[in-house]
Structure 1
Amino acid sequence: MAVLAYASAVISTLFRLLAYIFLRVIPARLGPKALPALYVLHLSSLALLPADESAPPRPATHKNGNGISSKDEINETKPLPAIPAQRSHIDTVKTLLLSIPSPIKALTAANILINTILLLLVVDLVLEPYLDDAKDVIFTRVGAVYPDSARIVIRYPHENSTDGALVIVLWRQITLYGDPVWTSGPTVNLTQENDWVSTAVLDSLWPSTDYEYALGDAEGNKLPYPPNPIHFHTFPDPRLSTGSHFRFLATSCVTTNFPYKPFNGRRIKGFDLLADYLWPSRTVTQAGVNSVSDALNETDSSANSRSALDKFLPDNLAPPAEFLMFLGDFIYADVPFYFGDNAEHYRRLYRRNYQSESFRKVYENLPIFHAYDDHEIINNYMGAGNDSKLPFASADDAFKLYNANSNYNPAEPGQHYYHFRFSDTAFFVLDTRRYRSDVTEQDDAASRTMLGDKQLAALYEWLGKVNNTATFKFIVSSVPFTSLWQHDAQVDSWAAYPSEKLSLLNALHSVPNVIIISGDRHEFAAIKFNGEGQGHTILEVSTSPLSMFYIPFFRTLKSTSDGTVNTIKEAKTVVGGEEVTSLVEDELPQEEVVKYIAEGNYKWSSFEVDTRDPEHPVVKLEVVIDGFPAYSLEIIGRPVELKVSSALGSVVPNGFLNILDKIGLNPISWF
């Protein structure tokens, strides 16, 4: 039976180790099945043990000729030393740590209690997303922002209404000269069928201007939420050739309460850290201002109000963030447990995130634009252009309601890929899931597609348009573009689509100042793509997770690719006192790692774009891990002679142009 005792200890120790990994390292889908089985197996092994199985062996006794045992003789002549109390404590600790069966019932009970508590914590992590449906969550946020309009998401449940409820967006421009009157904007009809969510478009705005909005009922009376107006800043007109200086952030992969802590079911620590990073009181204090409200000269504004705050900040501080690019895995529909293919299951997970006060601190103060990845659907999803493939319909329903409908207008109706601009910087956001070929069904790698024909054509068309109309071009891919990540990334990233990737890469090398942004891997890496000949270098910045697991002691990123290219670069030398430029050929890896940081549960990248000097455009990258700056890189761009319109009509909002047209004036004809 000693074997059974050791087996019981091994089973219990394994249970505890796996429980810790599941709760604090990675919430793998195997956990909800394996951990209860190990728990039951441990209890069963204890039940099979005799009551005195773990008692220490008794000293052997031998009778002598007088009938007195040798033990008694020893006790009479030389008493046995007492066992030190310290040794007893050590044995107790070992018994509890290693879950060793003990004849002492209290220790056995304590071991069972420890394992039971661990199992309950596992059950809490698994079931809380199902039990906490967040049906009463109320929220609003800003999505896509244009020079003359903005998209606004609203969720305001009215459970007592069967026909829905009308909510009006009340808005006004923020000024330093009194409070302007609220203007009634668009009206949305919130219905239970759409989970009480809708998106409104607020238009007739001016470029580069601060606004705020509130919500009202059908009569125009302010609703209790939001308690304070929500602020946003319209984008500058991209047709002005004045350069830009702005900042945005990028990250992906988020779930509530991981690494797990008891009684923290709604917390998303990554968003807490991000809020502290974006709006720290110490930053304003360093600028010589006591508080954000002082900086805003007692206006009803926030740190996100640009024109009022910027003048108080010294030049060496980064400008306020304009938006957050969230690159996918906003929910984990299948981790740690998949509750099934139905719309309510997916909607519940979105509601829980918006219910989080951690996330609320960010989305009420910063516009967010979304891409989606596999965990909004199911792990490693490959749609192959077939929207009837399960569980796409249920997943897409929730993604559109909560995230996609507030993105920019898609390049094609009904799609999730889109592009937009901020001044002279252009962005194209890819859909890398809906149209990718199923690698398990298509053996010929040369014929596989990641984007599908229409999306690929739209991307090439966009590249042609922004080549000479934008200084920096950002391509947003939910999965890494590089092929340096190994193991499952060889199937789930662009590495599995080599022909399409190579074709696209050749096109990108012909366009200056291309930066690829990606996520998904739960690690950070900056990757450089070297071009053949005099092709432009491309940089990829891959950052994740915002608030999820990373795996210690397990690295899968190669430092360089096996393939090489022959590059030709300009080299300047001084000959006879004169600077001479010559061309130098060099063989370099096609892909190589610039920086790799695997550690950290909470990661994001900040991109500060500065094109005010057209001869020296630059992007300053700052990577933040677990709340602290971990890496920075200055990306020097090439000058681009932009072809833009300087007509006065380009800076006048469409609403004002319509007014002029109604009174018989056509300003466009003036130029």
Structure 2
Amino acid sequence: MSNWFTIATALSSALIRIASFIFLRWIPGHVFPPVILACSGIYISSTVLLLGPANEESGEATRTEKSRTKLRKQDASERGFLSALLIGVPSKKNVFTTALNIFINLALTGFTLDFLYRGRVLYPTDELAFSRIGYVSPTTANLLVREPHVANFPVTIKYQEATHSDSDYWTEEGKIYQLNAAKDFTFPVTIKNLKPSTQYRYTLSNNQTGTFITAPQSGTQSANRLSFLTSSCIKPNYPYSAFSHPLRILGLEQVSHAIKKLPSLNRLSFMLFLGDFIYIDVPLRHGSSLDEYRAEYRRVYSSPSWHEPADERPIDLPWIHTMDDHEIANDWDKGNMTHPYPEAADPFNLYHV
């Protein structure tokens, strides 16, 4: 019987390590968490049985069988350190290697659970308040505002040219008097009467601030050259790192640092984001309700990466979005309005202005 436990331990250990590497660093597919968790349960159970007193009694009863297979099988303590570490089979004679194997496999299982749930549990997004720039024209700029706190209303929107140093020289665009759950506490604001090719800063009375640059006027010299950025696919904290904020988006930070290195001649006008802004079904689909889809967008916008570095924040670059499959469901190609499309389209339209 101990041979079966040994095989189960070795196989489950190997599957935990292979599946965890693929899941946490390469492909966060939904098939991997059940495999990792199931193998972890098998590994723990078989390890306990191999190290327990019952296995010693079984060993006495099968001494003859062990003698016949002695040339083919070795105890973990007789193997080299690396070999024992790779196989993952515990041994009472090699306590250090056994403890290290158990630690590695339990740590990988813990990393899997951490990736799945730390962001959801420890960083709820219902209270998220933020603002971001959307589409800009030569004379207008769309601004998305989310404010769920009643005490902060009315929210006053003001703006000024970035060259102005007088803190009192602001133009008031308007006020938002209340928001509600029907629109997930969001509201699109259009700032009007702007100058083409001009940098502005804006401020809200709820302490949200930002900057933007208007588009060049058609037919002018500055309109002859246009630079923009394209990208797609956002999944917070992926590839996974146990030491990162669970909502960190490394790609955003890399984009910001790359933008800072561009010459002024290639100043970016906007980001054309080509879909998969959220992954509702990766690594696990937690639901298909309207609230679940909205929460996924809030999680992305809760990332601290939107605000780093302070002098070139991704949140200040105009973003224009297209919808891909993972905003709805993997490989969505039905081309109709059936569930869950309405639930998926709602926050896509609310959060993209």
Same-fold call, TM cutoff 0.5: yes
1:237 corresponds, among 185, 202, 217, to 217
1:372 corresponds, among 309, 319, 323, to 323
What is residue 6 of structure 1 aligned with on the other side?
7
Contact 1:5 1:54 (C-alpha < 8 Å) held by counterparts: no
Distance 2:298 2:345 in 1: 15
Distance 1:89 1:368 in 2: 61
1:338 corresponds, among 275, 285, 288, to 285
Distance 1:177 1:5 in 2: 73
Deviation of 1:23 after TM superposition, in Å, equals 0.8
Distance 2:59 2:142 in 1: 69
Deviation of 1:95 after TM superposition, in Å, equals 1.9
Question: Which structure has the bigger radius of gyration?
Answer: 1
Distance 2:257 2:17 in 1: 35
What is residue 351 of structure 1 aligned with on the other side?
298
Aligned residue identity for 1:213: Y
What is residue 351 of structure 2 aligned with on the other side?
402
Determine which structure has greater relative contact order: mean sequence separation of CA pairs < 8 Å that are 6+ residues apart, divided by chain length: 2
Say if 1:236 and 1:54 are closer, same or farther in 2 by CA, change over 3 A.
farther
1:272 corresponds, among 243, 250, 253, to 253
Alignment length, in residue pairs? 327
1:181 aligns with 2:128: no
Aligned residue identity for 2:227: R
Say if 1:392 and 1:243 are closer, same or farther in 2 by CA, change over 3 A.
closer
Distance 1:182 1:125 in 2: 44
What is residue 128 of structure 1 aligned with on the other side?
118
1:382 aligns with 2:333: yes
Distance 1:54 1:324 in 2: 66
Contact 2:8 2:42 (C-alpha < 8 Å) held by counterparts: no
1:207 aligns with 2:196: yes
2:130 corresponds, among 136, 139, 160, to 139
Contact 2:325 2:332 (C-alpha < 8 Å) held by counterparts: yes
Gaps of 5+ in 2: 64-75
Q: Quote the sequence identity (%).
A: 31
Say if 1:108 and 1:339 are closer, same or farther in 2 by CA, change over 3 A.
same
Say if 1:176 and 1:48 are closer, same or farther in 2 by CA, change over 3 A.
closer
Runs of 4+ with deviation above 6 angstroms: 52-55, 87-90
What is residue 196 of structure 1 aligned with on the other side?
185
Say if 1:234 and 1:52 are closer, same or farther in 2 by CA, change over 3 A.
farther
Distance 2:255 2:59 in 1: 52
Contact 1:194 1:401 (C-alpha < 8 Å) held by counterparts: yes
Contact 1:9 1:101 (C-alpha < 8 Å) held by counterparts: no
Contact 2:275 2:321 (C-alpha < 8 Å) held by counterparts: yes
Deviation of 1:397 after TM superposition, in Å, equals 1.4
Aligned residue identity for 1:379: N
- TM-score by structure 1 length? 0.45
Distance 2:165 2:203 in 1: 20
Greater share of residues in helix: 2
Gaps of 5+ in 1: 58-86, 217-222, 284-312, 407-671
Say if 1:196 and 1:54 are closer, same or farther in 2 by CA, change over 3 A.
farther
Aligned residue identity for 1:373: D
Please provide the CA RMSD for this pair.
Answer: 2.8
CA deviation profile, 1:327-360 (whole Å, cap 9, x unmatched): 1101100000001111221122211211112123
Contact 1:11 1:42 (C-alpha < 8 Å) held by counterparts: yes
Greater share of residues in strand: 1
Aligned residue identity for 2:341: F
Distance 2:350 2:251 in 1: 24
Aligned residue identity for 1:268: I
CA deviation profile, 1:173-203 (whole Å, cap 9, x unmatched): 2336756721110323322332222110111
Say if 1:111 and 1:340 are closer, same or farther in 2 by CA, change over 3 A.
same
For residues 263-342 of structure 1, the aligned pairs below 5 Å read 263-264=243-244, 265-280=246-261, 318-342=265-289
Question: Secondary structure at the residue paired with 2:172?
Answer: strand
